[in-house]
Amino acid sequence: MTAKIKPAKGAAYARIMGVGGYRPVRVVPNEEILKHIDSSDEWIRSRSGIATRHWAGPEETVSAMSLEAAGKAIADAGITADQIGAVIVSTVSHFKQTPAVATEIAHKVGAGKPAAFDISAGCAGFGYGLAMARDMVTGGSAEHVLVIGVERLSDLTDLEDRATAFLFGDGAGAVVVGPSAEPAIGPVVWGSEGDKAETIKQTVAWDVYREETDVRFPAITQEGQAVFRWAVFEMAKIAQQALDEAGVSPEDLDVFIPHQANMRIIDSMVKTLKLPESVTVARDVETTGNTSAASIPLAMERLLATGAAKSGDTALLIGFGAGLVYAATVVTLP
């Protein structure tokens, strides 16, 4: 006789219950970057919209920043750490291949023995983690999931690279995803275009150091114009697909939180999507820089903290970057 497996008991829907962020203490203005490259503050601002960024100090590790953001998100969600059933950490700047930093964070935050793992999806990493968390909650494998996007990109910045030296910042953003009585995280539209993988990449692989000890430390490099064109024209289509999948029109939106890569990309996407002026647009990149996987939750946290967005608002999220990978979804803000 064939045994019948009991179905998993998940929630009907999932929602973001709380959000938290951490920005390193040290603020780095463009003037400091200009000590290393032949450029100007005006050029940097016109190209990227960035005026300052935060760089982590020795004690502000990937784990330490994540713990700060996670603690705030858990408190904001109104739950206790031991209710967390899974921890997902998206990062490309945790330099230990194993164990996953998520296991350390889960332990130190007091979550007990949850599932814990890292993902590497570049600037789309938070969107990937959010999609998995929603499926965990509705699929019954975890009641509450802690999703963290965290980066120390200052460790992977070539200060002599005029094209990227001014772009990157450090920080951590976290959300708690849990059960909901109504839909609050829409279908994810995600994917990859591996034929464009060389447009954003690490300069050298880690195994080079086995035989060549004089190789310069790895940094992130990119083909700026190619990435800009892809982000502006292709990602606007993905964002529109996410709206369509969620059954939401641009006129229904309250907030737009794109990956904080570049102010020109953000403004171009707003124009292409024909978003009404009533939509609040996250432009956290001006003072935080590009923090890759951390940028969306950090921007979300700031909008809510400053009152620019409010609980219950409908927000479109989209992340895109190295891979090239992307993920977009519509959510109800916590």
Catalytic annotation on 123?
yes
Structure token digits, residue 206: 């880690």
Pick from 264, 261, 312, 310: nearest CA to 288: 261
Neighbours of 151 (CB within 10 A): 31
Q: Residues 328, 296: contact at Cβ < 8 Å?
A: no
Pick from 77, 86, 80, 78: nearest CA to 19: 77
Structure token digits, residue 333: 């803000």
State the Cα angle at 175 between 171 and 181, rounded to 5°. 165
* Secondary structure class of 76 (helix, strand, coil): helix
Per annotation, catalytic residue among 30, 54, 94, 123: 123
| Burial (CB count <10 Å: 0-12, 13-18, 19+), residue 212 | exposed
The residues pairing with 19 across neighbouring beta strands, listed in sequence order, are: 175
H or E segment to which residue 74 belongs: helix 62-77
Per annotation, catalytic residue among 94, 144, 259, 262: 259
Q: How far apart are CA 183 and CA 41, in angstroms?
A: 44
Neighbours of 285 (CB within 10 A): 27
Q: What is the residue-wise DSSP string for 315-332? A: EEEEEEETTTEEEEEEEE
Cα Rg of the chain (Å, integer): 19
Interaxial angle between packed helices 41-48 and 263-273, expressed in degrees from 0 to 180 and rounded to the nearest 10: 30
Q: How far apart are CA 173 and CA 87, in angstroms?
A: 13
Q: How far apart are CA 308 and CA 278, in angstroms?
A: 11
Tell me the helices (H) and strands (E) count for the chain, helix number first.
10, 14
Q: How far apart are CA 172 and CA 139, in angstroms?
A: 27
Which sequence positions are flagged as catalytic?
A: 123, 259, 290
